[in-house]
């Protein structure tokens, strides 16, 4: 494919420490985004791969074109499982200088992978293997001297694998129910850090740009969790007093993630006062559980922040923690650590695309929506809420790369592989 992607496929073998590059021919054979990366996953299936990729429009002027993804092995079924890379992580994947990356094998000691400008380094992570996700992000950014580095990481390497862990995107949650973090632990892979200044071309840049702007004009800016669904709207009202601002992912005119300040007044605009004033709320299912159990919003934020730092799967933790444990606690992180060590919970079974929107698994609608989202690189929530039919986004593919894709051709490619 001559447009929309640049760079090779990198195959990073953690066992030998070697990095190979080859032409990403799967793009031409299977089409962009999810299907070509699924083909790579299948090729390296025996080596327990973690495959990182992006969609056709990721990082372009198409609204909400923020989406990248990680494919990893479902810990129980050995099937492939997909985790979205939103916020700014997916865009950095697109500009990293690689069209896709496959990380195979297991390292003998903790390492992290640094992807930047067409270079892939495997670096020692022994000195921060026990760090939490927030410190890991700070350490890697400081080492690289760049605050825009995107860090996908897992919590402390502490041998307590009986409780589901969840990979983070920088300081915030990635919607990983446990499979990506479990893969990272198996591989001794502490983190993947990504940054790039690459460029991509469209086949017809002027028409592509003006069509993108038309899409942008047609969608109504909205914000808050209410964008997710009716259940999320109820949580939105509950945490409203703590909302400081709403944040969106790259290029999205909607902003569904509230930043909640619970250590200082939400009305305070300065970012100078309290060092860690609150959290970005990236999933509502856990918060809903905490609300139902009788936590107040500030207590719930404390629990979720501890999960984010420790890289714990928040729904699993929320299902076993009780308000009394927090009321009696002087250090929520330590309390949460103890609770996860004392409880044995398996990673929740999941379909290829875990349904983090409504929580209902195996819905045909969610499957089709995600196939489109991970092919196009456009956020599935935006695809639902924009009011624009998905087929219209597919029609941009000709302008982007001189090949027309539609749901039928995408389904045919994916169905060849599953
Ligand atoms: S709808 Fe929410 S998750 Fe989707 S791109 Fe916009 S801000 Fe990100």
Q: Give the end-to-end CA distance of the chain in Å, rounded to a whole number.
A: 23
234 and 157 within one domain: no
Name the residue of 83, 85, 227, 393 to mutate for ligand 1: max ligand atoms within 8 A of Cβ: 227
- What mean pLDDT is predicted for residues 187-191? 97
- pLDDT at res. 362: 67
86 domain residue, yes or no: yes
Whether 249 is in the pocket of ligand 1, judged by its Cβ within 6 Å, is yes
Whether 382 is in the pocket of ligand 1, judged by its Cβ within 6 Å, is yes
User: What's the mean pLDDT when you consider all of the chain?
Assistant: 93
- pLDDT at res. 210: 97
- What mean pLDDT is predicted for residues 200-222? 94
pTM of the predicted protein model = 0.96
Pick 329 or 124 by higher pLDDT: 124
- pLDDT at res. 14: 98
34 domain residue, yes or no: yes
Determine the atom of ligand 1 nearest the C-alpha atom of 86: 8
247 domain residue, yes or no: yes
| Cβ-contact 317, 286 below 8 angstroms | yes
CATH of the domain at 408: 3.60.9.10
pLDDT band at 180 (very low <50, low <70, confident <90, very high): very high
Total number of domains in the chain: 2
347 domain residue, yes or no: no
- What mean pLDDT is predicted for residues 354-365? 79
123 and 26 within one domain: yes
45 domain residue, yes or no: yes
- With b for 16 or more beta-carbon neighbours within 10 A and e for fewer, the 233-264 pattern comes to eebbebbeebbbebbbbbbbbbbbbbbbbbee
Ranking 106-120, 194-208, 272-286, 294-308 by mean pLDDT, the lowest is: 272-286
308 and 393 within one domain: no
338 and 377 within one domain: no
Whether 86 is in the pocket of ligand 1, judged by its Cβ within 6 Å, is yes
Take atom 2 of ligand 1 and give the residue whose Cα is closest: 256
> Tens of pLDDT along 60-112?
999 999 999 999 998 778 889 999 999 999 999 999 999 999 999 999 999 99
405 and 333 within one domain: no
409 and 298 within one domain: no
302 domain residue, yes or no: yes
Name the residue of 174, 219, 232, 252 to mutate for ligand 1: max ligand atoms within 8 A of Cβ: 252
- pLDDT at res. 1: 85
- What mean pLDDT is predicted for residues 294-321? 95
- pLDDT at res. 265: 87
> Tens of pLDDT along 25-62?
999 999 999 999 999 999 999 999 999 999 999 999 99
Pick 9 or 350 by higher pLDDT: 9
Name the residue of 248, 255, 257 to mutate for ligand 1: max ligand atoms within 8 A of Cβ: 248
Percentage of the chain beyond pLDDT 70 is 99
| 194 pLDDT more than 90 | yes
Distance 40 CA to ligand 1 centre (A): 27
- What mean pLDDT is predicted for residues 338-354? 86
Tokens 């305070």 label which residue? 268
300 and 161 within one domain: no
Whether 255 is in the pocket of ligand 1, judged by its Cβ within 6 Å, is yes
- What mean pLDDT is predicted for residues 270-285? 85
137 domain residue, yes or no: yes
144 and 54 within one domain: yes
- What mean pLDDT is predicted for residues 393-418? 97
- pLDDT at res. 76: 76
Q: Which helix (H) or strand (E) holds 192?
A: strand 189-195
What span, in angstroms and rounded, lies between the C-alpha atoms of 33 and 71? 11
Determine the atom of ligand 1 nearest the C-alpha atom of 87: 8
**Alpha-carbon separation of residue 344 from 68, 143, 199, 282, 317 (angstroms):** 31, 36, 46, 25, 11
| 359 pLDDT more than 80 | no
245 and 164 within one domain: no
- pLDDT at res. 133: 97
- pLDDT at res. 284: 87
Domain that holds residue 235: 225-342
295 domain residue, yes or no: yes
> Tens of pLDDT along 231-253?
898 898 999 999 999 999 999 99
Whether 65 is in the pocket of ligand 1, judged by its Cβ within 6 Å, is no
166 and 82 within one domain: yes
Name the residue of 85, 215, 225, 382 to mutate for ligand 1: max ligand atoms within 8 A of Cβ: 382
| Cβ-contact 98, 10 below 8 angstroms | yes
What span, in angstroms and rounded, lies between the C-alpha atoms of 11 and 19? 6
332 and 246 within one domain: yes
121 and 245 within one domain: no
């Amino acid at each position: 494919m001559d447009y929309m992607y640049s760079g090779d496929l990198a195959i990073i073998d953690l066992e030998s420490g070697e990095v190979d590059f080859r032409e990403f021919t799967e793009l031409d054979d299977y089409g962009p985004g999810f299907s070509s990366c699924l083909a790579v996953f299948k090729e390296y299936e025996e080596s327990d791969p973690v495959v990182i990729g992006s969609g056709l429009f990721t990082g372009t002027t198409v609204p909400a074109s923020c989406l990248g993804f990680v494919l990893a092995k479902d810990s129980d079924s050995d099937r492939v499982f997909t985790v979205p890379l939103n916020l700014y992580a997916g865009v950095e994947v697109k500009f990293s200088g690689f069209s896709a990356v496959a990380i195979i094998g297991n390292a003998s000691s903790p390492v992290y992978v640094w992807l930047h400008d067409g270079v892939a380094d495997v670096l020692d992570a022994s000195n921060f293997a026990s760090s939490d996700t927030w410190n890991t992000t700070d350490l890697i950014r400081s080492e690289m001297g760049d605050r825009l580095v995107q860090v996908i990481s897992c919590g402390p390497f502490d041998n307590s694998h009986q409780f589901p862990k969840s990979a983070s995107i920088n300081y915030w949650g990635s919607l990983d129910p446990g499979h990506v973090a479990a893969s990272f632990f198996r591989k001794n892979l502490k983190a993947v850090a990504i940054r790039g200044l690459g460029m991509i071309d469209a086949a017809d840049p002027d028409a592509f740009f003006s069509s993108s702007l038309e899409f942008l004009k047609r969608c109504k800016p909205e914000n808050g969790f209410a964008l997710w669904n009716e259940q999320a709207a109820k949580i939105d009202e509950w945490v409203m007093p703590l909302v400081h601002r709403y944040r969106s992912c790259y290029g999205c005119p909607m902003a569904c993630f509230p930043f909640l300040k619970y250590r200082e007044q939400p009305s305070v605009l300065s970012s100078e006062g309290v060092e860690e004033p609150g959290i970005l709320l990236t999933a509502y299912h856990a918060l809903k559980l905490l609300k139902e159990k009788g936590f107040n919003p500030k207590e719930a934020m404390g629990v979720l922040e501890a999960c984010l730092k420790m890289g714990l799967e928040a729904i699993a933790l929320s299902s076993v923690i009780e308000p009394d444990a927090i009321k009696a606690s002087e250090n929520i992180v330590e309390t949460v650590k103890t609770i996860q060590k004392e409880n044995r919970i398996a990673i929740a079974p999941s379909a290829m695309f875990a349904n983090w929107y409504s929580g209902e698994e195996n819905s045909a609608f969610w499957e089709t929506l995600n196939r489109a989202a991970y092919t196009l690189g456009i956020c599935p929530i935006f695809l639902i809420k924009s009011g624009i039919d998905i087929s219209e986004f597919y029609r941009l593919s000709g302008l982007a790369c001189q090949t027309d894709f539609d749901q039928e051709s995408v389904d045919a490619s994916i169905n060849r592989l599953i």
